[in-house]
Amino acid sequence: MLGSQVTEMVIFICLMGLWAVYLGMYFTMSVWGSYLLPRPRKLSLQWTVVDLWTTAMRTRETWARDLMDKAQNAQGEALLAVQQMRNLIVSCTLLVMGMAQIMGRLVVVMVSEANLQTIAALCCKDPMTGPNESWAAPEVKVAVPFGATLLSLLCFGQSVRLAVHIGFSIRVQGVGGGKRDGGKRDREDGHEDGIRLDDEVVVMVQRAELYFTLGLRFLYLFIATIFWVLGITALLVSCLTVLVLLVMSDMLLVPVRRDRARAPASQAIGHLTNEMVSL
Protein backbone atom coordinates (compact mmCIF):
# COMPACT_ATOMS: atom_id res chain seq x y z
CA MET A 1 0.00 0.00 0.00
CA LEU A 2 1.39 3.37 -1.03
CA GLY A 3 1.79 6.31 1.32
CA SER A 4 -0.96 8.29 -0.39
CA GLN A 5 -3.35 5.38 0.01
CA VAL A 6 -2.54 5.13 3.71
CA THR A 7 -3.18 8.87 4.03
CA GLU A 8 -6.56 8.54 2.35
CA MET A 9 -7.53 5.60 4.57
CA VAL A 10 -6.54 7.44 7.75
CA ILE A 11 -8.45 10.59 6.73
CA PHE A 12 -11.58 8.59 5.91
CA ILE A 13 -11.51 6.68 9.22
CA CYS A 14 -10.93 9.89 11.19
CA LEU A 15 -13.80 11.67 9.47
CA MET A 16 -16.24 8.84 10.05
CA GLY A 17 -15.09 8.61 13.66
CA LEU A 18 -15.59 12.36 14.06
CA TRP A 19 -19.15 12.02 12.75
CA ALA A 20 -19.90 9.17 15.17
CA VAL A 21 -18.42 11.05 18.15
CA TYR A 22 -20.37 14.20 17.34
CA LEU A 23 -23.67 12.34 17.03
CA GLY A 24 -23.04 10.55 20.31
CA MET A 25 -22.21 13.83 22.06
CA TYR A 26 -25.24 15.58 20.59
CA PHE A 27 -27.76 12.96 21.71
CA THR A 28 -26.24 12.73 25.20
CA MET A 29 -25.75 16.46 25.76
CA SER A 30 -28.25 16.48 28.63
CA VAL A 31 -26.03 14.01 30.54
CA TRP A 32 -22.57 15.51 30.22
CA GLY A 33 -23.29 19.04 28.97
CA SER A 34 -23.38 20.60 32.44
CA TYR A 35 -19.74 19.58 33.01
CA LEU A 36 -18.28 21.13 29.84
CA LEU A 37 -20.55 24.01 28.82
CA PRO A 38 -19.61 27.45 30.18
CA ARG A 39 -21.47 28.43 33.30
CA PRO A 40 -23.24 31.80 33.49
CA ARG A 41 -21.08 34.63 34.75
CA LYS A 42 -22.14 37.21 37.29
CA LEU A 43 -23.11 39.85 34.75
CA SER A 44 -26.38 41.63 34.00
CA LEU A 45 -26.25 40.20 30.48
CA GLN A 46 -24.82 36.70 30.09
CA TRP A 47 -24.85 33.91 27.59
CA THR A 48 -25.84 30.31 28.05
CA VAL A 49 -25.41 27.41 25.65
CA VAL A 50 -28.60 25.57 24.64
CA ASP A 51 -28.58 22.35 22.62
CA LEU A 52 -31.59 21.74 20.42
CA TRP A 53 -31.88 18.03 21.25
CA THR A 54 -32.50 18.55 24.97
CA THR A 55 -34.92 21.35 24.16
CA ALA A 56 -36.71 19.15 21.62
CA MET A 57 -37.20 16.33 24.12
CA ARG A 58 -38.64 18.69 26.75
CA THR A 59 -40.95 20.50 24.36
CA ARG A 60 -42.26 17.24 22.90
CA GLU A 61 -43.09 15.94 26.36
CA THR A 62 -44.86 19.17 27.32
CA TRP A 63 -46.75 19.22 24.02
CA ALA A 64 -47.89 15.61 24.33
CA ARG A 65 -49.06 15.87 27.93
CA ASP A 66 -50.90 19.13 27.31
CA LEU A 67 -52.74 17.68 24.31
CA MET A 68 -53.70 14.53 26.18
CA ASP A 69 -55.09 16.56 29.05
CA LYS A 70 -57.38 18.34 26.58
CA ALA A 71 -57.93 15.51 24.08
CA GLN A 72 -61.60 15.03 25.02
CA ASN A 73 -62.38 17.83 22.55
CA ALA A 74 -62.32 15.90 19.29
CA GLN A 75 -62.61 19.13 17.29
CA GLY A 76 -59.81 20.92 19.13
CA GLU A 77 -56.65 19.57 20.68
CA ALA A 78 -57.14 16.01 19.43
CA LEU A 79 -57.50 17.32 15.88
CA LEU A 80 -54.41 19.46 16.38
CA ALA A 81 -52.39 16.40 17.39
CA VAL A 82 -53.49 14.53 14.27
CA GLN A 83 -52.58 17.50 12.09
CA GLN A 84 -49.15 17.76 13.68
CA MET A 85 -48.48 14.08 13.10
CA ARG A 86 -49.74 14.50 9.54
CA ASN A 87 -47.20 17.27 9.00
CA LEU A 88 -44.48 14.92 10.18
CA ILE A 89 -45.68 12.19 7.82
CA VAL A 90 -45.79 14.59 4.87
CA SER A 91 -42.28 15.83 5.62
CA CYS A 92 -40.93 12.29 5.80
CA THR A 93 -42.75 11.35 2.59
CA LEU A 94 -41.27 14.25 0.64
CA LEU A 95 -37.78 13.47 1.91
CA VAL A 96 -38.15 9.78 1.09
CA MET A 97 -39.33 10.58 -2.43
CA GLY A 98 -36.24 12.69 -3.02
CA MET A 99 -33.94 10.05 -1.56
CA ALA A 100 -35.54 7.35 -3.69
CA GLN A 101 -34.53 9.28 -6.80
CA ILE A 102 -30.98 9.64 -5.48
CA MET A 103 -30.72 5.94 -4.60
CA GLY A 104 -31.86 4.99 -8.09
CA ARG A 105 -29.14 7.15 -9.63
CA LEU A 106 -26.50 5.65 -7.32
CA VAL A 107 -27.51 2.12 -8.29
CA VAL A 108 -27.07 3.05 -11.96
CA VAL A 109 -23.60 4.42 -11.20
CA MET A 110 -22.55 1.27 -9.30
CA VAL A 111 -23.50 -1.05 -12.17
CA SER A 112 -22.05 1.11 -14.93
CA GLU A 113 -18.45 0.31 -15.80
CA ALA A 114 -17.96 3.63 -17.59
CA ASN A 115 -19.08 5.63 -14.54
CA LEU A 116 -16.82 3.62 -12.25
CA GLN A 117 -13.84 4.25 -14.50
CA THR A 118 -14.62 7.96 -14.47
CA ILE A 119 -14.65 7.99 -10.66
CA ALA A 120 -11.30 6.17 -10.58
CA ALA A 121 -9.82 8.70 -13.01
CA LEU A 122 -11.08 11.65 -10.94
CA CYS A 123 -9.43 10.28 -7.80
CA CYS A 124 -6.08 10.11 -9.59
CA LYS A 125 -6.29 13.89 -10.01
CA ASP A 126 -6.76 14.55 -6.28
CA PRO A 127 -4.21 17.13 -5.03
CA MET A 128 -3.47 15.12 -1.86
CA THR A 129 -3.19 11.55 -3.18
CA GLY A 130 -2.78 11.87 -6.96
CA PRO A 131 -1.57 10.62 -9.35
CA ASN A 132 -1.71 7.32 -7.45
CA GLU A 133 -4.84 5.20 -7.40
CA SER A 134 -7.31 5.55 -4.56
CA TRP A 135 -7.24 3.31 -1.51
CA ALA A 136 -10.94 2.41 -1.96
CA ALA A 137 -12.54 0.97 -5.05
CA PRO A 138 -15.02 3.17 -6.96
CA GLU A 139 -17.84 0.86 -5.92
CA VAL A 140 -17.05 1.55 -2.25
CA LYS A 141 -17.09 5.30 -2.79
CA VAL A 142 -20.60 5.04 -4.19
CA ALA A 143 -21.76 2.43 -1.67
CA VAL A 144 -20.98 4.64 1.35
CA PRO A 145 -23.40 7.46 0.43
CA PHE A 146 -25.87 4.84 -0.79
CA GLY A 147 -25.79 3.22 2.66
CA ALA A 148 -26.33 6.63 4.28
CA THR A 149 -29.47 7.22 2.20
CA LEU A 150 -30.73 3.72 3.01
CA LEU A 151 -30.34 4.29 6.76
CA SER A 152 -32.05 7.66 6.39
CA LEU A 153 -34.94 5.99 4.58
CA LEU A 154 -35.33 3.40 7.34
CA CYS A 155 -35.33 6.07 10.07
CA PHE A 156 -37.97 8.17 8.31
CA GLY A 157 -40.10 5.06 7.90
CA GLN A 158 -39.99 4.36 11.63
CA SER A 159 -40.86 7.98 12.36
CA VAL A 160 -43.93 7.73 10.13
CA ARG A 161 -44.97 4.48 11.81
CA LEU A 162 -44.86 6.07 15.26
CA ALA A 163 -46.61 9.24 14.06
CA VAL A 164 -49.57 7.19 12.83
CA HIS A 165 -49.83 5.38 16.17
CA ILE A 166 -49.55 8.62 18.19
CA GLY A 167 -52.64 10.10 16.53
CA PHE A 168 -54.77 7.19 17.77
CA SER A 169 -53.19 7.09 21.22
CA ILE A 170 -53.81 10.74 22.03
CA ARG A 171 -57.50 10.41 21.18
CA VAL A 172 -57.80 7.25 23.31
CA GLN A 173 -56.22 9.12 26.18
CA GLY A 174 -58.92 11.78 25.91
CA VAL A 175 -61.73 9.20 25.85
CA GLY A 176 -60.73 6.91 28.70
CA GLY A 177 -58.27 8.94 30.71
CA GLY A 178 -55.48 6.60 29.68
CA LYS A 179 -55.29 4.78 33.00
CA ARG A 180 -54.66 1.07 33.19
CA ASP A 181 -55.92 -0.72 36.27
CA GLY A 182 -53.83 -3.86 35.84
CA GLY A 183 -56.84 -6.02 35.05
CA LYS A 184 -57.06 -9.16 32.97
CA ARG A 185 -57.19 -7.27 29.69
CA ASP A 186 -54.12 -5.26 30.57
CA ARG A 187 -52.15 -8.37 31.46
CA GLU A 188 -53.15 -9.97 28.18
CA ASP A 189 -51.88 -6.91 26.35
CA GLY A 190 -48.50 -7.33 28.01
CA HIS A 191 -48.67 -4.14 30.08
CA GLU A 192 -47.42 -4.01 33.62
CA ASP A 193 -49.78 -3.11 36.43
CA GLY A 194 -50.21 0.59 36.97
CA ILE A 195 -48.71 1.77 33.67
CA ARG A 196 -50.32 4.84 32.14
CA LEU A 197 -51.04 5.41 28.48
CA ASP A 198 -49.92 9.04 28.65
CA ASP A 199 -46.39 7.94 29.59
CA GLU A 200 -46.37 5.61 26.60
CA VAL A 201 -47.44 8.42 24.29
CA VAL A 202 -44.70 10.73 25.58
CA VAL A 203 -42.09 8.06 24.88
CA MET A 204 -43.52 7.47 21.40
CA VAL A 205 -43.47 11.19 20.59
CA GLN A 206 -39.85 11.46 21.70
CA ARG A 207 -38.94 8.30 19.80
CA ALA A 208 -40.58 9.64 16.63
CA GLU A 209 -38.47 12.79 16.99
CA LEU A 210 -35.36 10.65 17.48
CA TYR A 211 -35.96 8.70 14.28
CA PHE A 212 -36.76 11.86 12.34
CA THR A 213 -33.56 13.52 13.58
CA LEU A 214 -31.49 10.43 12.76
CA GLY A 215 -33.00 10.40 9.29
CA LEU A 216 -31.86 13.97 8.75
CA ARG A 217 -28.39 13.19 10.15
CA PHE A 218 -27.90 10.32 7.73
CA LEU A 219 -29.10 12.58 4.94
CA TYR A 220 -26.43 15.10 5.95
CA LEU A 221 -23.90 12.24 5.95
CA PHE A 222 -24.89 11.45 2.37
CA ILE A 223 -24.26 15.06 1.37
CA ALA A 224 -20.82 14.90 2.97
CA THR A 225 -19.72 11.51 1.63
CA ILE A 226 -20.99 11.81 -1.95
CA PHE A 227 -18.05 14.12 -2.66
CA TRP A 228 -15.68 11.21 -2.06
CA VAL A 229 -16.15 10.30 -5.72
CA LEU A 230 -14.11 13.43 -6.52
CA GLY A 231 -11.27 12.50 -4.18
CA ILE A 232 -10.26 12.54 -0.54
CA THR A 233 -9.72 16.30 -0.56
CA ALA A 234 -13.33 16.93 -1.55
CA LEU A 235 -14.46 14.47 1.13
CA LEU A 236 -12.42 16.24 3.80
CA VAL A 237 -13.77 19.67 2.89
CA SER A 238 -17.39 18.53 2.59
CA CYS A 239 -17.41 16.58 5.88
CA LEU A 240 -15.88 19.41 7.89
CA THR A 241 -18.18 21.97 6.27
CA VAL A 242 -21.32 19.96 7.07
CA LEU A 243 -20.15 19.35 10.66
CA VAL A 244 -19.49 23.06 11.21
CA LEU A 245 -22.95 23.93 9.89
CA LEU A 246 -24.50 21.31 12.17
CA VAL A 247 -22.70 22.66 15.23
CA MET A 248 -23.83 26.19 14.41
CA SER A 249 -27.46 25.04 14.23
CA ASP A 250 -27.38 22.47 17.07
CA MET A 251 -25.81 24.74 19.69
CA LEU A 252 -27.33 28.13 20.41
CA LEU A 253 -25.90 30.98 22.45
CA VAL A 254 -28.91 32.47 24.21
CA PRO A 255 -28.64 35.74 26.18
CA VAL A 256 -30.06 35.57 29.69
CA ARG A 257 -30.81 38.60 31.89
CA ARG A 258 -30.84 37.88 35.59
CA ASP A 259 -33.30 40.64 36.50
CA ARG A 260 -35.89 39.55 33.92
CA ALA A 261 -35.35 35.83 34.43
CA ARG A 262 -36.24 36.09 38.11
CA ALA A 263 -39.19 38.43 37.66
CA PRO A 264 -42.65 36.83 37.55
CA ALA A 265 -44.35 36.59 34.20
CA SER A 266 -47.12 38.99 35.28
CA GLN A 267 -44.56 41.69 36.13
CA ALA A 268 -42.83 41.21 32.81
CA ILE A 269 -46.13 41.57 30.94
CA GLY A 270 -47.03 44.64 32.94
CA HIS A 271 -43.65 46.20 32.26
CA LEU A 272 -44.04 45.54 28.54
CA THR A 273 -47.56 47.03 28.56
CA ASN A 274 -46.33 50.20 30.27
CA GLU A 275 -43.59 50.58 27.68
CA MET A 276 -46.11 50.21 24.84
CA VAL A 277 -48.43 52.78 26.41
CA SER A 278 -45.60 55.26 26.85
CA LEU A 279 -44.76 54.89 23.17
Assess whether pLDDT exceeds 90 at residue 179. no
Domain of residue 121: give its range.
3-278
Assess whether pLDDT exceeds 80 at residue 273. no
Q: What is the mean pLDDT of residues 176-183?
A: 47
pLDDT-derived band at 218, boundaries 50, 70, 90: very high
181-196 residue pLDDT tens: 444 444 444 444 445 6
Tell me the C-alpha distance between 214 and 264, whole Å.
38
- Spatial contact of 198 and 65, defined as CB atoms under 8 Å apart: yes
Q: Is 231 exposed, middle or buried (0-12, 13-18, 19+ CB in 10 A)?
A: buried
Per the prediction, the chain carries an average pLDDT of 75
Q: Output the pLDDT for position 30.
A: 66
pLDDT-derived band at 41, boundaries 50, 70, 90: very low
Q: What is the mean pLDDT of residues 165-170?
A: 77
- Spatial contact of 157 and 238, defined as CB atoms under 8 Å apart: no
The pTM of this model reads 0.75
Q: State how many domains the chain has.
A: 1
